[in-house]
Homo-oligomer: A and B are copies of this chain.
Amino acid sequence: MTYCVGILVREGLVMIADTRTNAGVDNIAIFRKLHLFEVPGERMITLATAGNLSISQSVLSLLSEGIEDPQTGELETLFTVPTMVKASRLVGRAIRQVYAADGADMEMRNMSFDVTLLLGGQILGGDMRLFQIYAAGNAIEATDDTPFLQIGEPKYGKPILDRAIAHDTAIVEALKLGLISMDSTLKSNLGVGLPIDIVVAKRDALRAGIRYRIEEDEPYFRDLRDRWSSALRAAHQAIPRPPYADEGF
Task: Say if the beta carbon of A23 comes within 8 Å of chain B.
Answer: no
Instruction: Check if A160 is an interface residue, CB within 8 A of chain B.
Output: yes
Complex CA gap A115/B182 in Å reads: 31
Q: How many copies does the complex hold?
A: 2
* A187: B residues at CB distance < 8 A: 159, 162-163
Inside 8 A of A179's CB, which chain B residues have their CB? Answer: 242
For the complex formed, measure the closest distance between the CB of A128 and the CB atoms of chain B, giving whole angstroms. Answer: 15
- Chain A interface residue count: which class? 35 or more
Complex CA gap A32/B205 in Å reads: 54
Q: In the complex, A128→B42 CA distance in Å? A: 66
Contact yes or no, B248 A209, CB < 8 A: yes
CB within 8 Å of B: which A196-249 residues: 198, 200, 202, 205, 207, 209-210, 212, 220, 223-224, 227-229, 231-246, 248-249
Residues of A within 8 A of B (CB): 155-160, 162-164, 172-173, 175-177, 179-180, 184-185, 187-188, 198, 200, 202, 205, 207, 209-210, 212, 220, 223-224, 227-229, 231-246, 248-249
The 9 residue pairs across chains A and B that have the minimum distance between CB atoms: A209-B249, A231-B235, A155-B155, A159-B184, A212-B244, A210-B244, A210-B245, A158-B188, A176-B236
Q: List 22 A-B contacts (CB under 8 A).
A: A155-B155, A157-B159, A159-B187, A160-B232, A160-B236, A163-B232, A163-B233, A173-B237, A175-B242, A176-B241, A200-B245, A202-B249, A209-B249, A210-B244, A210-B245, A210-B246, A212-B244, A220-B243, A220-B244, A227-B235, A227-B239, A231-B235
